[in-house]
Structure 1
């Protein structure tokens, strides 16, 4: 269920491989990935927030004492292909954090993670994937674009859950229709499965799909319908609706709507424009802080209604600029993210970007420490040293360099 506006990914452009001939057929392999070095600085956060009690800053997606930091990543993916029917895929992520005191690295698994380890078997009608893999899951806003320490650029809002142990089967039931079934578990909660069923069909230039999911850990059942297509010589259009019900409370349901369009202006050097509206029924009308840190968060979106606009201009083979705006229209408050990409070589990418938040105090993208909090039916005043301090950086600057191999 990934919209065009929020689905963008960059594939590795170069790689090395090897081939051999086994007794029962050819075996080929390749290793691709990237090495990344990143600097980031958050503006507008007061380090005094780090001593604020009863607040889990991991839930807010930031740490107030992480004003400046350096992150390094090495992320190779190795693939072994056994003939035309089977593959073994492994992705390892090695990472280190510097000047980020809240991200302590004390043992080897704080530096390494195994993100993918799966076997894929394909026949004429069935594709079977077993092991640790990636599943598409809902719309693309799965990361917090206002957090200083996102693992990928805020424009890369892929609707994926990574690192799930899953069994997934895609069955071609017609030439233009497929049925996908998957059962997955997250590593920290192996007793809480996620179950996905999906039917998709293509009619000329129009794709449609129906998806049903069950998340035992969240006690959440979701039914969704999506459609996307292109008007001849006109814009692309997409729409998605989902209804979610908490199985433990039949009245705790929410309705989501996502609709948008995009268009590329050939006469303007390929200027790409996309716009999208999101109604997030599970959101709140103003109690953002309590929702964020009180366990009621079901998505990175805290509010109910959003407008998104993206502009992307490719100047030539080397330079590209992009601007993404996310606005909570009820506050109003929002985030504007601008990014300049330099591609001096086919395998080297340098990104300079800035995220700027705006809005009145108390808005989703302008959260402040309240003057008082309610606990167990009592109202407790917040000391003046903390009251009114911003909980969201007013700006985040970052510089990334990625070398693809």
Structure 2
């Protein structure tokens, strides 16, 4: 999807071509035939995903800075997964990824930040960075106003397994909690609630240990060393250490979590049970702020219920979920003065400004190879929200097509409807977007 009025179609096409050729080169380089004769000792796979999108920026928003009715964007994502399993007691896992984006949205963001440099404290330029991680495994290949290409290692972890447990050291991903879109117990690189692509969670450099027994249940312990992005030094107040116990209590599954996260103490409780054919979940955490600016601490709670059924001969699945957090505001223009909230936004732990949210999801299997999804997120205090319908079609054994919309609604001075950025003559408001993805898996 190319804008006929876009004066940079060549740069977009060159970006796509360069990314595609680089992906093919890496595939050939790491072709599994090179590992012939090793049997099951080597596992290899990955995907290549191409995206096109068009967005409709609201009048007066920061994305409207170029005075264009439509913003057209393209992107590619390549991931190559490798796992070496020489024995039953240890293995090595490596994921390489190359990501490129180009188009009007990135150019509008670059122009906005160039015109209002103070806004860098409020608006992120986007992209994954290793500034806070122990290992810098990312390199930028192209970084222009209208395009960016970078590559990185998103997994680099060695695992050792014994009868007493499993030890994993390196870049890996770990998820705690039972939430669908909101997860108060998931402190490390959670997905944004509006993110519909959740194939892979961004990895972090950490040490994890997992053990289990019939009496105590399963225990996970982790340590995540973090760097101060200003000094580059590993600091305790930039790091995390936590433990979680998972066990069965009667007919329930229970999680108990405690840890230190960026110098803040965090404790959590999670429950999972069943009622009829439905499953329900409850996660609750409390955070004691080490250097709280507006409060000494805050609680967060997430509860959900999901169920699957058959209507009109079609398989269906859905959930409802409610999320509340004490760390939020209803005065969005003043939210940038909420230091504890802004710190979590910059670290990628929070993506919303409010306190109370409801979300729901419905999946309908129209055909064994075609599924329709609709996701709804509402800020219940505004109210404002977003509706995300999308279609996922398994075109072939290794080929998938996804097409969808992000439609935002809300009045003035609402989170999803838009609000004035403090000290700037523009609004922060998300743009309605339509997109098409093609994914090839290998």
Same fold (TM over 0.5): yes
1:376-400, Cα deviation, whole Å (9 max, x unpaired): xxxx6x6xxx3xx542234111111
Distance 2:72 2:159 in 1: 41
Name 2:114's counterpart in structure 1.
none
Contact 1:291-1:302 at 8 Å conserved across structures:
no
Contact 2:326-2:355 at 8 Å conserved across structures:
yes
Contact 1:229-1:236 at 8 Å conserved across structures:
yes
Name 2:290's counterpart in structure 1.
247
Q: In the alignment, which of 356, 359, 366 is matched to residue 305 of structure 1? A: 356
Name 1:111's counterpart in structure 2.
150
Distance 1:209 1:34 in 2: 34
CA 1:311–1:257: 2 relative to 1, 3 Å: same
Q: In the alignment, which of 202, 206, 214 is matched to residue 174 of structure 1? A: 214
* Structure ranking higher in helix proportion: 2
Distance 1:392 1:144 in 2: 16
1:98 aligns with 2:102: yes
1:40 aligns with 2:53: yes
Distance 2:299 2:79 in 1: 37
Q: Write the mapping of 1:364-379 to structure 2, written as runs, cut at 5 A.
A: 364-369=415-420, 373=422
1:334-374, Cα deviation, whole Å (9 max, x unpaired): 1111111111112111100101111111111112326xx4x
Larger relative contact order (Cα-Cα within 8 Å, sequence gap ≥ 6): 1
CA 1:48–1:275: 2 relative to 1, 3 Å: closer
CA 1:174–1:65: 2 relative to 1, 3 Å: farther
SS at match of 2:62: helix
Contact 1:207-1:227 at 8 Å conserved across structures:
yes
SS at match of 2:283: strand
Q: CA deviation at 1:45?
A: 3.8
SS at match of 1:270: strand
Q: In the alignment, which of 214, 224, 238 is matched to residue 260 of structure 2? A: 214
Contact 1:239-1:259 at 8 Å conserved across structures:
yes
Q: CA deviation at 1:123?
A: 1.3
Contact 1:134-1:162 at 8 Å conserved across structures:
yes
Name 1:393's counterpart in structure 2.
430
CA 1:253–1:144: 2 relative to 1, 3 Å: same
Name 2:167's counterpart in structure 1.
128
Distance 1:281 1:73 in 2: 36
Structure 2: state its 5+ residue gaps.
1-30, 111-124, 128-138, 143-148, 183-189, 345-349
1:202 aligns with 2:242: no
Distance 1:179 1:305 in 2: 31
Structure 1: state its 5+ residue gaps.
1-14, 53-63, 147-153, 374-379
1:363 aligns with 2:400: no
TM-score (norm: length of structure 1): 0.77
Q: CA deviation at 1:309?
A: 0.6
CA 1:289–1:162: 2 relative to 1, 3 Å: farther
Q: CA deviation at 1:98?
A: 2.0
Distance 2:64 2:319 in 1: 41
* Structure ranking higher in strand proportion: 1
Contact 1:324-1:336 at 8 Å conserved across structures:
yes
Measured on the aligned residues, the alpha-carbon RMSD in Å equals 3.2
SS at match of 1:40: strand
SS at match of 1:244: strand
Q: CA deviation at 1:104?
A: 10
Q: Write the mapping of 1:211-290 to structure 2, written as runs, cut at 5 A.
A: 211-216=257-262, 219-231=263-275, 233-249=276-292, 251-268=295-312, 269-287=314-332, 290=335
Name 1:73's counterpart in structure 2.
77
Distance 2:37 2:393 in 1: 37
